[in-house]
Amino acid sequence: MPTRSRRYWILAALRRVWANKLTLIADDGDSSEEEEEQELMMLYFMLNSKRYLSRRERFERPECRVEYYLTGMSNENFRLNFRMNRQYFTAVCQLITNHDVFCSVPGKQPRMRVEIHLMALLKMLGSLDGYGLSADFLSVGSHTPESLLTRRAMEALLSYKNAVICWPDAVERREISARIENVSGFPCCVGLIDGTLFPLRTRPQKHGEDYYSRKASYAINGLVVSDDKCRIRYENVGWPGSSHDNRVWRNCKLARNREQYFNMNEYLLGDSAYQPSNVMVSSYKTIRGGQLSTKEEGFNSQLAKIRIRVEHCIGMLKGRFPLLKALRCRLRNKKEKQDTIQLIQSAMILHNMAIGDPMPDDWVVRESDDDEWADELPRSSRNSDQRRAYLRDYIFDLKN
């Protein structure tokens, strides 16, 4: 229910008094009452024609400190406040500065410069509560950063999503697989896959039980495919926290349209939460009461050495942007869910843009490897497990 203004209540009171005066005039016919009625009518129409009862007071805001942040603040403090080096911040600004969302609308207040928009978004992503205290920090209105500046910055970043988070072409896949083989011995591997949870501070109001995750908290589930340099190559974010990682994988476009993304011998490496196939080579899972063979243990050990790169990629993402460790959203409707997904995607875009910016070691989040939590996967067919069996023997022969 909207709050009624003081102007609304004054006009309502004038209408009541006016109506009473008209009643008295009809009964008595007094000329003095008619004069008062005329005065009330003039006062009513005068106030009704004005948007505000009195002139609005303009409060002087502190002088904008953006220039100090851009040129005067130390590099260490700049990175602490905006989660990336000043050089990378400037590069992102130059990329998005010509986006239409930053263009001022004729007849309206000029929009703030692109640096302020990006700073507001980075302050929010770099906070633990989603507020970032960026209003006073950036010398803007108290609700401006979240409601306007961050939304515009996200819109501009998302317009570059397909260019920044992109699946490698055939030439680049060969380069990636050569680097991975040189480090781990796995030939033709073009990416590393892992699932991750983006925790929510509160239970979603709609279908909240579906978001209750294996870590006893409410969360959004996501899938990340990275290369060996921790660059995100594909993401599928937005599943309820209770969704199994293998289900998220089976329903993503990489699995459904594999012929468009993989050549004949190419595949991804993942943990035991994923069912093996021609394009998915996962580690062996210990069967209850059973034991892995020597070849399988050696295979798992060698796979873990390279697969840790995708875990490190996710740790860098959440470490650079701590808000992703506890998202402040209620998911009351589809729009709020979409806004949350776009916030995560914006953080992933910024992660890739700043991939060359070294992070302090204490920023990186190290998540526990808990892929053994899941229910038993469907038994793999012999054909779907052929590639993993071949690689198991290949790695064993390579190491012995």
CA-closest candidate to residue 160, choices 339, 390, 350, 4: 350
Tens of pLDDT, residues 160-187: 999 999 999 999 999 999 999 999 999 9
Main-chain phi, psi angles of 323, to 5 degrees:
-60, -30
Decide: 314 and 221 in contact? Cβ < 8 Å. no
Tens of pLDDT, residues 3-45: 777 888 888 888 888 777 777 666 665 666 667 777 777 888 8
pLDDT over 90 (residue 190): yes
Q: What is the mean pLDDT of residues 106-117?
A: 87
CA-closest candidate to residue 388, choices 294, 283, 286: 283
Query: What local confidence, expressed as pLDDT, does residue 36 receive?
Result: 74
Cα(218)–Cα(215) distance, rounded to whole angstroms?
8
Residue 361, token pair as written in the block: 């070691």
Range of 42-56, 71-85, 101-115, 134-148 with top mean pLDDT: 71-85
Decide: 310 and 193 in contact? Cβ < 8 Å. yes
Secondary structure letter of residue 73 according to DSSP: S
Decide: 120 and 304 in contact? Cβ < 8 Å. no
- State CA 394 to chain mean position distance: 40
Domain range summary for the chain, segments of one domain joined by +: 6-48, 66-159, 163-399
Q: What is the mean pLDDT of residues 226-249?
A: 97
Higher-confidence residue of 370 and 67: namely: 67
Higher-confidence residue of 38 and 370: namely: 38
Query: What local confidence, expressed as pLDDT, does residue 286 receive?
Result: 85
pLDDT over 80 (residue 367): no
pLDDT over 70 (residue 65): yes
CA-closest candidate to residue 189, choices 298, 348, 302: 302
Cα(310)–Cα(71) distance, rounded to whole angstroms?
35
Q: What is the mean pLDDT of residues 129-149?
A: 68
Cα(219)–Cα(242) distance, rounded to whole angstroms?
8
Residue 101, token pair as written in the block: 């969302």
CA-closest candidate to residue 197, choices 339, 391, 344: 344
pLDDT over 90 (residue 82): yes
pLDDT over 90 (residue 47): no
Cα(338)–Cα(343) distance, rounded to whole angstroms?
9
Which of 61-65, 95-99, 269-273 is predicted least confidently?
61-65
Cα(278)–Cα(266) distance, rounded to whole angstroms?
8
pLDDT over 70 (residue 247): yes
DSSP helix/strand/coil, 212: strand
In whole angstroms, how far apart are CA 384 and each of 31, 190, 276?
99, 18, 6
Query: What local confidence, expressed as pLDDT, does residue 143 receive?
Result: 57
Q: What is the mean pLDDT of residues 268-274?
A: 96
Burial 232-241 (b: 16+ CB within 10 A, else e): bbbbbbbbbb
Query: What local confidence, expressed as pLDDT, does residue 141 receive?
Result: 66
Query: What local confidence, expressed as pLDDT, does residue 177 receive?
Result: 98
DSSP helix/strand/coil, 288: coil
Q: What is the mean pLDDT of residues 126-130?
A: 80
Higher-confidence residue of 219 and 71: namely: 219
Q: What is the mean pLDDT of residues 125-153?
A: 75
